[in-house]
Amino acid sequence: MGIQERKEREKQQRKEKIIQAAEKVFFSKGFDRSTMDDIAELAELSKGTLYLYFKSKEDLRLAVAHKAILLLNSVTEGIKTMKENALEKLLSMGRACIEFSNNYPNQMKSIMFLEGFELLQVSLSAREIKEVIYRDSPVGMVVQIVEQGVREQLIRDDIPPTVIAHTLWMQFLSIVQFVTMKPAFLEMLDLSPSSVYESHFELVINGIKS
């Protein structure tokens, strides 16, 4: 009864707490430089306890990434069913992602990290990557919107929608990365993050119009 449920809930909370600690550590020091000790200390748990919830550091990395992707999806989900046309939807989605990036910077870094560079240096099988990372990747939604845009004759049809969508997504991630990871450059160039984002959208939307 209630007691069972409470226990289960506490277990989930603890798991969540570990994931949150791992997020912070992974994205302040990088995955390889993070230690299970760091995470345990931040989670206010013993190192041994971590292994009660996650079978390895790699497993924890995966959990961190998956959670971030699900969170981002929950934020962008509503856009799918909106009455907007494809170009407006892409813009909405971009802005939603940026808002997400402001609200949950660690999670955004996590997504970039896992969709990004280090992927092939990781000891994940291709199956695991697809299952865990890409099954729920936001890029899927981008593909759908681009396909809608081609049907609406708003988006050029001379390039396959999947290519356009992946290109857009990668470009978007790169801009977020730029803004997030190199604030010093923005200052140097006397630019605000939002102006960079809007310029980016302006450029790419312009680029894909039919």
Q: Which two tokens stand for residue 50?
A: 């971590």
Residue closer to its own copies by CB (options 75, 146) is 146
| Minimum distance, C-beta of residue 83 to its own copies, in the bound complex (Å) | 26
The 3 state secondary structure assigned to 50-72 is HHHHCCCHHHHHHHHHHHHHHHH
- Based on the shown chain and the rule CB under 7 A, indicate whether residue 17 belongs to the binding site for DNA: no
Residues in contact with its own copies by the rule CB under 8 A:
28-30, 32-33, 112-113, 116-121, 126, 129, 159-160, 162-164, 166-167, 170-171, 173-175, 177-178, 181-182, 184-185, 189, 191, 195-196, 199-200, 202-209
Q: Which has the closest alpha carbon to 54: 111, 17, 15, 110? A: 15
| Minimum distance, C-beta of residue 30 to its own copies, in the bound complex (Å) | 4
Q: How far apart are CA 57 and CA 34, in angstroms?
A: 9
Q: Which has the closest alpha carbon to 111: 138, 75, 141? A: 138
| Minimum distance, C-beta of residue 135 to DNA, in the bound complex (Å) | 24
| Minimum distance, C-beta of residue 18 to DNA, in the bound complex (Å) | 9
Residues in contact with DNA, counted by CB under 7 A, come to a total of: 23
Q: Which two tokens stand for residue 154?
A: 């708003």
Asked whether the beta carbons of 138 and 90 are under 8 A apart, the reply is no
Q: Which has the closest alpha carbon to 140: 115, 123, 110? A: 115
Residue closer to DNA by CB (options 50, 124) is 50
For the segment 19-78, give every residue that binds DNA (CB under 7 A): 33-38, 45-53, 55-58
Residue closer to its own copies by CB (options 82, 119) is 119
DSSP state of 121: G
194 binds, among its own copies, DNA, none (CB under 5 to 8 A by kind): none
48 binds, among DNA, its own copies, none (CB under 5 to 8 A by kind): DNA
| Minimum distance, C-beta of residue 81 to its own copies, in the bound complex (Å) | 26
Q: Which has the closest alpha carbon to 69: 110, 103, 30, 102? A: 110
Helix 161-181 with 86-103: angle, nearest 10 deg: 30
| Minimum distance, C-beta of residue 1 to its own copies, in the bound complex (Å) | 21
160 binds, among DNA, its own copies, none (CB under 5 to 8 A by kind): its own copies
